[in-house]
């Protein structure tokens, strides 16, 4: 468990601050993460990686020459927001475009995709790429749905080394695609991890058992087996990976392979070496030519006790890129010239606006903003009350952090809304400020989706006219459409969409017949509660719970449940303010 921390909510930011202070010769802090101490050479593609905290050396420890140009870092196990990613990318940009790279998790896909859109709109060419190396998380025919785990490193390194060689953006992306296509990982765990401030791990493994096919966000494995000896563990890892060779590799004999035996947080290096001796023996017996293996902690999951094995099947180009020198705080290979002098270019350009200035608003809209603030205060209070319950529900088949993430987001949204309201902002601006704050502080999937919902509602209400029931319903409908467009989920996938769609549809239908907003919202909240309860009978088809679908039967989706709780709480506020 994590013993040294101050405020758990500040843990990720304080860890990043300390990391930057300890490695100021190689990195410098910018809003949202870190970039190389020296500016990206003009004309060189910038490779920006990122994800949640709790995985060190990933992601900040992999920033340096020969590796990433920058890393965007979110809260523990939560994707950084699009604003933070955009800020790091702008700071790293050297004029030749940016490749944004991350593990294939729903929150990362949403936020990095939004960041790429923002960068492109501002004239910075941007591409995105998600690593999908974990063979336990989806079948070969659905490899695009696989998670990214320790295979992040060889894929990141291949792309970054290609960028160092001066290749253009599309060719750097092609290298990432080739490295990912030839990378496979598999892992096991003996205990779960405990987040800062928590008093119990996200999952537990029975004594004398191990979890097989783990993730790196505290998710339980896809199965259990008897606790192995070191040699038995090595055999399971090697056999699993040799059982699925990438396209173009017909048999392991004579193949050159980059090998990573990765510790997930609390397995000691000596234990890893005991396992690796057998891994090397087994691969040798299979005829595999091991190229510059790595044994140690490369992509961790806080204090999880576990190991993973990664094989990247090399061709001539990938071998050259794997062998290329690198000099990052947590990963060094070969030798480079003298360290770069700290750069003065590429100064961080953040997504922040001047919070002391708000658009003009009508008296009607400012009065409506008072109700909006009351709603957001109630939302935050509702989440505080149910945070532990939401975490418990989420932990059944996910990583158990839904309550924590919703607390961060709703608390930040309430604070931002209060500040805008105090400055005389209208309802639309109050909601827009709340949306940005929720997305920035929560990160992850819920941060992106709640930011989208609040912004859609704010756009519908605006700062000039008095909100009507029809306009509120239209805002909720636009929020529903935006979430489905951004997240790709539909009704039946066991996500918040299962609640958001009936909430929006019921509200729209009721207000269209002239039903007052309070009564219409009551009907919509009831529909939401019914839909949330019904998700217990569904199998997840999206998100981190998908690999553990059977475990979630009988338990509602955490995001759906939290939305239903909020919908009912909002009805109480509307009754008080109508």
Alpha-carbon gap, residue 414 to 305, rounded angstroms = 37
DSSP letter, residue 182:
T
256-263 and 289-296: which strand pairing?
parallel
Measured between alpha carbons, how far is 409 from 434 in angstroms, rounded to an integer? Answer: 9
Q: Residue 391's closest CA among 402, 379, 383, 406? A: 402
Residue holding tokens 């309430």?
414
217 classed as catalytic = yes
- For residue 134, what is the enclosing H or E element? none
501: Cβ–Cβ under 8 A, 6 or more apart, which residues? 480, 484, 491, 531
Question: Backbone dihedral region of 32: left (phi > 0), alpha (psi from -120 to 50 degrees) or beta?
Answer: left
Adjacent-strand bridge partners of 290:
257
Tokens 């001066």 belong to which residue?
166
Q: Would you call 250 helix, strand, or coil by DSSP?
A: coil
Residue 201, sorted as left (phi over 0), alpha (psi -120 to 50) or beta, turns out to be beta
Q: Which two tokens stand for residue 529?
A: 């509660």
**DSSP sequence for 405-464:** HHHHHHHHHHHHHHHHHHTT--HHHHHHHHHHHHHHHH-HHHHHHHHHHHHHHHHHH-SS
Q: Establish whether the linkage from the previous residue to 59 is cis, with ω within 30° of 0.
A: yes
Q: Which residues contact 17 (CB under 8 A, 6 or more apart)?
A: 29
Q: Are strands 98-103 and 289-296 parallel, antiparallel or unpaired?
A: unpaired
Q: Rounded to an integer, what distance in angstroms lies between the CA atom of residue 336 and that of residue 185?
A: 29
Q: What is the largest CA-CA distance in the chain?
A: 78
Whole-angstrom Cα distance, residue 496 to residue 447? 13
In angstroms, rounded to a whole number, what is the distance separating the alpha carbons of residues 60 and 63? Answer: 6
Looking at 23-92, list the stretches that DSSP marks H as alpha helix, in order from N- to C-terminal side.
82-92
Strand 305-313 to strand 183-191: parallel, antiparallel, or no bridges (unpaired)?
A: antiparallel
Q: Pick the catalytic residue: 55, 69, 217, 402?
A: 217
Structure tokens at 260: 């990573």
Structure-token match 């609040």, residue found:
454
Pick the closest to residue 211 from 503, 547, 472, 468 (CA basis): 547
DSSP designation for 150: T
Nearest to 446 by CA among 417, 415, 489, 475: 489
* Sign of CA pseudo-dihedral 365, 429, 444, 104: positive
- Report whether 550 contacts 539 (CB < 8 A): yes
Query: Among all chains, which residue has been given the structure tokens 């949202």?
Result: 32
Residues 6 or more apart from 428 whose CB is under 8 A from it? Answer: 361, 365, 458, 459, 461, 462, 463
Active site amino acids: 217
């Amino acid at each position: 468990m994590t013993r040294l921390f101050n405020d758990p909510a500040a843990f990720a930011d304080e860890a990043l601050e300390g990391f930057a202070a300890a490695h100021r010769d190689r990195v410098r802090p910018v809003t949202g993460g870190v970039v190389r101490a020296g500016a990206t050479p003009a004309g060189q593609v910038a490779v920006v990686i990122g994800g949640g905290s709790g995985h060190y050396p990933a992601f900040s420890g992999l920033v340096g020459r020969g590796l990433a140009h920058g890393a965007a870092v979110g809260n523990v196990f939560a994707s950084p927001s699009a604003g933070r990613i955009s800020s790091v990318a702008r700071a790293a940009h050297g004029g030749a475009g940016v490749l944004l790279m991350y593990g294939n998790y729903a929150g990362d896909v949403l936020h990095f995709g939004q960041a790429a859109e923002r960068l492109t709109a501002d004239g910075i060419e941007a591409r995105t790429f998600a690593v999908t190396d974990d063979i336990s998380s989806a079948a070969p025919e659905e490899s695009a749905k696989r998670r990214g785990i320790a295979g992040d490193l060889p894929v990141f390194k291949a792309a970054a080394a290609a960028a160092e060689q001066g290749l253009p953006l599309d060719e750097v992306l092609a290298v990432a695609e080739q490295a990912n296509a030839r990378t496979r990982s598999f892992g096991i765990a003996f205990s779960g991890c405990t987040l800062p401030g928590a008093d119990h791990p996200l999952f537990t493994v029975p004594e004398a058992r191990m979890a097989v096919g783990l993730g790196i966000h505290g998710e339980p494995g896809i199965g259990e087996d008897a606790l192995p000896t070191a040699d038995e563990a090595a055999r399971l890892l090697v056999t699993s990976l040799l059982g699925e060779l990438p396209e173009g590799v017909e048999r392991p004999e004579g193949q050159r392979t980059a090998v990573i035996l990765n510790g997930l947080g609390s397995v000691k290096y000596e234990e890893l070496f005991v396992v690796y001796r057998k891994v090397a023996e087994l691969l040798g017996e299979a005829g595999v030519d091991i190229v510059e293996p790595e044994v140690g902690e490369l992509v961790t999951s806080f204090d999880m006790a576990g190991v993973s094995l990664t094989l990247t099947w090399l061709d001539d180009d990938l071998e050259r890129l794997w062998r290329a020198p690198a000099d990052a705080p947590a990963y060094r290979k070969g030798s480079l010239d003298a360290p770069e002098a700290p750069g003065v270019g590429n100064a961080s350009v953040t997504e922040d606006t001047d919070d002391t200035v708000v658009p003009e608003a009508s008296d009607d809209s400012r009065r409506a903003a008072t109700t909006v603030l009351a709603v957001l205060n109630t939302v935050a209070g509702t989440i505080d009350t149910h945070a532990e319950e939401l975490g418990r529900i989420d932990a059944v088949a996910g990583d158990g952090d839904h309550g924590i993430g919703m607390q961060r987001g709703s608390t930040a949204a309430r604070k931002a809304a209060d500040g805008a309201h105090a400055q005389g902002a209208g309802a639309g601006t109050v909601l827009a400020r709340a949306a940005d704050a929720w997305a920035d502080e929560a990160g992850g999937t819920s941060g992106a989706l709640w930011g989208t919902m609040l912004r859609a509602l704010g756009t519908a209400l605006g700062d000039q006219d008095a909100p009507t029931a029809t306009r509120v319903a239209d805002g909720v409908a636009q929020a529903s459409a935006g979430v489905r467009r951004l997240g790709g989920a539909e009704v039946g996938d066991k996500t918040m969409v299962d609640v958001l769609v009936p909430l929006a549809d019921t509200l729209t239908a009721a207000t269209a017949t002239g039903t007052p907003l309070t009564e219409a919202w009551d009907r919509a909240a009831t529909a939401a509660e019914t839909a949330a309860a019904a998700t217990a009978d569904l199998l997840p088809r999206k998100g981190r719970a998908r690999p553990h679908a059977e475990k979630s039967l009988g338990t509602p989706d955490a995001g759906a449940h939290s939305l239903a709780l909020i919908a009912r709480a909002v009805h109480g506020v509307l009754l008080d303010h109508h």
